[in-house]
């Protein structure tokens, strides 16, 4: 899976790629690196994507109205790409995005 989060008041520019074997690479505004995602967290991500029925989602979920400090999110999985923004995230993707943000915070801290 390939996840990107940009924008927000702090001008985030994050990218996280997690491979099927749990190997992951990331880039953030001030850091780049790699790590191995533990099997339990990898399984959780796969389950969340399955529960979200990712292949059936539309390709774009824009925010209902523009916002200067909104985040933009792009997630690609198994050849399907979905983009969304703060306020437009569909319910099935809320948990997926939340977990991906948590993985970035846990394994790719800004400090």
- What are the domain boundaries of the chain? 2-107
Instruction: Kindly tell me if the per-residue pLDDT of 99 is higher than 90.
Output: yes
Question: What is the per-residue pLDDT across 25-83, written as a single tens digit (0 to 9) for each?
Answer: 999 988 899 999 999 999 999 999 999 999 999 999 999 887 778 999 999 999 999 99
**Can you give the pLDDT at residue 9?**
78
Residue 84: exposure state from Cβ atoms within 10 A (0-12, 13-18, ≥19): buried
Size of the chain in residues: 111
Q: Which of 3, 56, 53, 61 is nearest to 28 (CA)?
A: 3
Contacts 24+ apart (CB under 8 A), 84-89: 84/60, 85/61, 86/7, 87/63, 88/61, 88/62, 88/63, 88/64, 89/61
What pTM value is reported for the model? 0.91
Asked if 95 contacts 28 with a C-beta cutoff of 8 angstroms, the reply is: no
């Amino acid at each position: 899976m390939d996840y990107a989060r940009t924008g927000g008041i702090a001008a985030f520019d994050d990218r996280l790629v997690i491979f099927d074997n749990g190997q992951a690479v990331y880039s953030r505004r001030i850091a780049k690196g790699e790590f191995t995602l533990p099997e339990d967290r990898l399984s959780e991500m796969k389950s969340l994507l399955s529960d979200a029925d990712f292949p059936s989602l539309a390709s774009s979920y824009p925010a209902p109205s523009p916002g200067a400090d909104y985040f933009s999110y792009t997630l690609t999985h198994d050849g399907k790409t979905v983009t969304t923004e703060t306020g437009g995230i569909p319910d099935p993707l809320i948990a997926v995005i939340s977990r991906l943000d948590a993985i970035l915070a846990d394994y790719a801290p800004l400090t």
